[in-house]
Amino acid sequence: MPFTTWFAFFLAACVIAISPGSGAVLSMSHGLSYGVKKTTGTIIGLQAGLLLVLAIAGAGVGSLLMASEVAFNSVKTIGALYLIYLGISQWRAKVLSPITSDVAVAQTVLPSWSKRFLIGFFTNATNPKGIIFMVAVLPQFISQSAPVLPQLLILGVTMCLVDLVVMHSYAFAASSMQRFFRDPALLKKQNRFFGGILMAIGAALFFVKRNPAA
């Protein structure tokens, strides 16, 4: 793969990763609630979901989903409902109040590492916008005269590394504000704020359309 092609994809991956979306909202939400270190499980799950979408698009299944109204709408509906479910769960998340005056920080109940991983995985794996991006963008950076698999591996590793850095940056920025959310009432409002955003993003997915040319 020529360096110029890779660099162009790198820039595209940076723009996509930085653009606010469900992954960014989830990273900020977990970063603020659990801290950067514990959000790593969520972010790794996001990358696993991203790799799955890339593999689906690379195998041509993504094109099939884009061509089939029923298949695309099924994925879209599952993704939208899952984000709405996450939003409701975040909205209703339990807050642990300080037990004594010596414990100054309220905390949201921490899900297990595997649950955080799965939340991140399904957030990206069921995102129809990710499928649209992969199907529309990947072919522009893949040469038909060279083996496809090595190119997909290079693009996949590049995209995941970029997204890892960006999502951790979002989580770090959010976690730096933890000291302002020591009060259980404020933490509850924070949970409802991010829960509301996730539900809004999920609702917006219902309006995502297939490429008319597909």
> Mind listing the pLDDT tens digit for each residue in 51-79?
888 887 777 666 666 667 777 777 778 77
13 burial via Cβ count (<10 Å: 0-12, 13-18, 19+): buried
In this structure, is residue 139 part of a structural domain? Answer: yes
In this structure, is residue 13 part of a structural domain? Answer: no
- The helix/strand/coil state of 201 is helix
Residue keyed to tokens 């920080």: 105
1-47 pLDDT, tens digit per residue, is 788 889 888 988 887 788 777 888 889 888 888 888 999 999 999 99
Cβ(197)–Cβ(123) under 8 Å?
A: no
Interatomic CA distance for residues 205 and 214, integer angstroms: 19
In this structure, is residue 14 part of a structural domain? Answer: no
In this structure, is residue 17 part of a structural domain? Answer: no
Give which of 17, 24, 18, 7 is closest to 197, Cα–Cα: 24
In this structure, is residue 214 part of a structural domain? Answer: no
- The tally of domains found in the chain comes to 1
76-115 pLDDT, tens digit per residue, is 787 778 778 877 877 877 665 544 434 444 456 678 899 9
Q: What values do phi and psi take at 90, rounded to 5?
A: -65, -40
What domain range includes position 128?
3-7+22-205
In this structure, is residue 58 part of a structural domain? Answer: yes
| Beta partners for residue 96, in sequence order | 107
The one-letter amino acid at 156: G
Residue 214: pLDDT above 50?
no
In this structure, is residue 184 part of a structural domain? Answer: yes
Residue 198's pLDDT band (cuts 50, 70, 90)? confident
| Residue 123 Cα distances to 155, 159, 180, 199, angstroms | 21, 16, 28, 12
In this structure, is residue 213 part of a structural domain? Answer: no
Interatomic CA distance for residues 131 and 62, integer angstroms: 6
Which pTM value belongs to this model? 0.71
Residue 138: pLDDT above 80?
no
> Which of 149 and 137 is assigned the larger pLDDT?
149
Residue 103 has a pLDDT of 41
